[in-house]
C-alpha cells in the first residue's frame, strides 16, 4: 500500500515537456513508496484550478501536484498565466488543507529552458510528500 496517494494535474500545452515531467514525477513517487493514483490533463496551466479542486475533494487523494511549462511569448501573457495560476493553487491548498505542489516552470523562459527544467516534476512530488509528512506532525 502506498504511503500517500497523489493526484496530478498536467497541462496539455507544451505536451512534450509536461509528459516528461509526469514520467519523472511517477518515478519519484514510486521511489518514495507513494503513488500517483489519478492524472487529470487540462488544456493549460491557467485551466488547472477546477481540476485541482475536484481532486482535493476526494478522500483518497492526500496531495496534488501541478505540472506545466509557461514559456515566454511575444507579450506578457506568460507572466499573467503563471501569476494567477500560482495564486489560485496556493488558495486551494489552504482551503482544502492538503498540499498542492507547484511543479510549473516559468514564466520568462524559452522552450530550451523548459526542457532543462523537466525535473520540476520530480521536485513537485518531493515537496508534496514532505508537506504530507510535516502536516502529520502538527
- Sorted by sequence, the CB contacts under 8 Å of residue 97 that are 6+ apart come out as 135
In the annotated binding site, the residues are: 13, 45-47, 69-71, 74-75, 102, 111
Using CA atoms, how far residue 125 sits from 72, 87, 128, in Å, is: 25, 19, 5
33: left (phi over 0), alpha (psi -120 to 50) or beta: left
- Sorted by sequence, the CB contacts under 8 Å of residue 45 that are 6+ apart come out as 11, 13, 66, 68, 69, 70, 81, 82, 85, 104
| CA neighbor of 59 nearest in space, from 41, 86, 37 | 37
Catalytic residue among 57, 76, 77, 84: 77
- Our answer to whether residue 115 is catalytic in this structure is no
In the annotated binding site for 5-amino-6-(D-ribitylamino)uracil, the residues are: 13, 45-47, 69-71, 102
Residue 47 corresponds to which cell in the numbers above? 485551466
Active-site positions?
77
Amino acid at each position: 500500500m502506498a504511503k500517500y496517494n497523489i493526484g496530478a494535474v498536467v497541462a496539455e500545452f507544451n505536451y512534450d515537456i509536461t509528459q516528461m515531467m509526469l514520467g519523472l514525477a511517477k518515478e519519484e513517487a514510486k521511489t518514495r513508496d507513494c503513488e500517483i493514483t489519478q492524472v487529470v490533463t487540462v488544456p493549460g496551466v491557467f485551466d488547472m484550478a477546477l481540476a485541482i479542486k475536484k481532486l482535493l475533494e476526494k478522500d483518497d487523494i492526500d496531495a496534488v501536484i501541478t505540472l506545466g511549462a509557461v514559456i515566454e511569448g511575444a507579450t506578457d501573457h506568460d507572466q499573467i498565466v503563471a501569476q494567477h495560476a500560482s495564486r489560485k493553487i496556493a488558495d486551494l491548498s489552504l482551503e482544502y488543507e492538503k498540499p498542492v505542489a507547484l511543479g510549473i516552470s516559468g514564466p520568462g523562459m524559452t522552450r530550451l529552458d523548459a526542457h532543462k527544467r523537466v525535473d520540476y516534476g520530480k521536485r513537485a512530488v518531493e515537496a508534496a510528500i514532505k508537506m504530507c509528512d510535516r502536516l502529520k506532525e502538527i
